[in-house]
């Protein structure tokens, strides 16, 4: 899943980016409020980690703008302020959770997963499709009882496909969700990684799950009938 971190303290931003990437998230970072707001409005994210005290524009104002634009992206606010009144401002603006600094990465990760589960309506940390299973905690991918070893990028691509079964995903959609802000969308990297994934997930199985929609993108489905 793709996360936007809006945090002006570079140490904190780097800490969050590194930790989330290790957990197979795709992460973009903005270091001031105006840049963060622009990225949130221009790109698709599954979650935003939003600091309150930011240069350019503060986090609460950014969140108010997002909600005014009817963007329901889940937002967790991060702040050194731990006063009840400050938390109320965040929740009134439309945040999904509020974490005061300093915090442990383990706590933040648990909050991130809880917010994502609530937002998606899922009550489990396991995704299933046909005989394919993806564990969001252990990052294990199993098909037909056989564990499949995936690289971090292959895992992110597989997760995105499994969160959107029977839906055509264009190359643009895949770029926005699986690659970061600096990705060159004019390369054939997406097609290359889909082929990597096919070789690991579909090879040796009579039922193919990853299909090409020619000229458009890819779809995860159980048959060639759309």
pLDDT recorded at residue 90: 84
Residues near 25 by beta carbon (within 8 Å), at least 6 away in sequence: 1, 2, 3, 156
2 beta partners: 26
Gyration radius from the chain CA atoms: 19
Structure-token pair, residue 8? 């002006």
Phi/psi for 127 (5° steps) reads: -100, 135
The list of the chain residues with pLDDT below 50 reads 225-226
pLDDT recorded at residue 64: 95
Q: What is the DSSP string of 68-116?
A: HTT----EEEEES---HHHHHHHHHHT-SEEEESS--HHHHHHHHHHHH
Mean pLDDT over each residue of the chain, to the nearest integer = 89
Structure-token pair, residue 102? 């300093």
pLDDT recorded at residue 115: 92
Q: Tens digits of per-residue pLDDT, 22-46?
A: 888 989 999 999 999 999 999 889 9
pLDDT recorded at residue 29: 95
Count other Cβ atoms within 10 Å, centred on residue 139.
Answer: 13
> What are the chain's domains?
2-120 (3.40.50.2300), 126-220 (1.10.10.10)
- Alpha-carbon distance 75 to 89, whole Å? 13
Give the single-character DSSP code of 187. S
pLDDT recorded at residue 88: 85
Per the CB < 8 A criterion, the answer to whether 141 and 155 are in contact is yes
- Alpha-carbon distance 159 to 136, whole Å? 8
Q: Tens digits of per-residue pLDDT, 184-203?
A: 666 788 899 999 999 999 99
Phi/psi for 14 (5° steps) reads: -65, -40
Provide the terminal-to-terminal Cα distance of the chain, rounded to the nearest Å: 25
- Alpha-carbon distance 211 to 164, whole Å? 13
Q: Are strands 75-79 and 2-6 parallel, antiparallel or unpaired?
A: unpaired
pLDDT recorded at residue 14: 93
């Amino acid at each position: 899943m793709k996360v936007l971190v809006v945090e002006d303290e570079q140490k904190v931003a780097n800490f969050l980016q590194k930790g989330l990437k290790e957990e197979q998230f795709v992460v973009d970072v903005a270091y001031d409020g105006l840049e963060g707001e622009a990225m949130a409005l221009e790109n698709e994210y599954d979650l935003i980690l939003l600091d309150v005290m930011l240069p350019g524009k503060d986090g609460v104002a950014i969140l108010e703008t997002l909600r005014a634009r009817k963007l329901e992206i889940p937002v967790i606010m991060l702040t050194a302020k731990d006063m009840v009144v400050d938390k109320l401002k965040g929740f009134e603006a439309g945040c999904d959770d509020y974490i005061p600094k300093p915090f442990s990465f383990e706590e933040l990760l648990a909050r991130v997963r809880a917010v994502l589960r609530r937002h998606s309506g899922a009550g489990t940390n396991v995704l299933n499709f046909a005989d394919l299973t993806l564990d969001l905690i252990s990052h294990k991918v199993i098909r037909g009882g056989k564990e499949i070893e995936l690289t971090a990028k292959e895992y992110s691509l597989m997760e995105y496909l499994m969160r959107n079964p029977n839906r055509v995903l264009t190359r643009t959609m895949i770029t926005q969700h699986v690659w970061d802000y600096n990705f060159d969308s004019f390369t054939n990297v997406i097609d290359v990684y889909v082929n990597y994934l096919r070789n690991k997930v579909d090879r040796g199985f009579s039922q193919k799950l990853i299909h090409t929609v020619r000229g458009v993108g890819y779809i995860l489905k159980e048959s060639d009938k759309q």
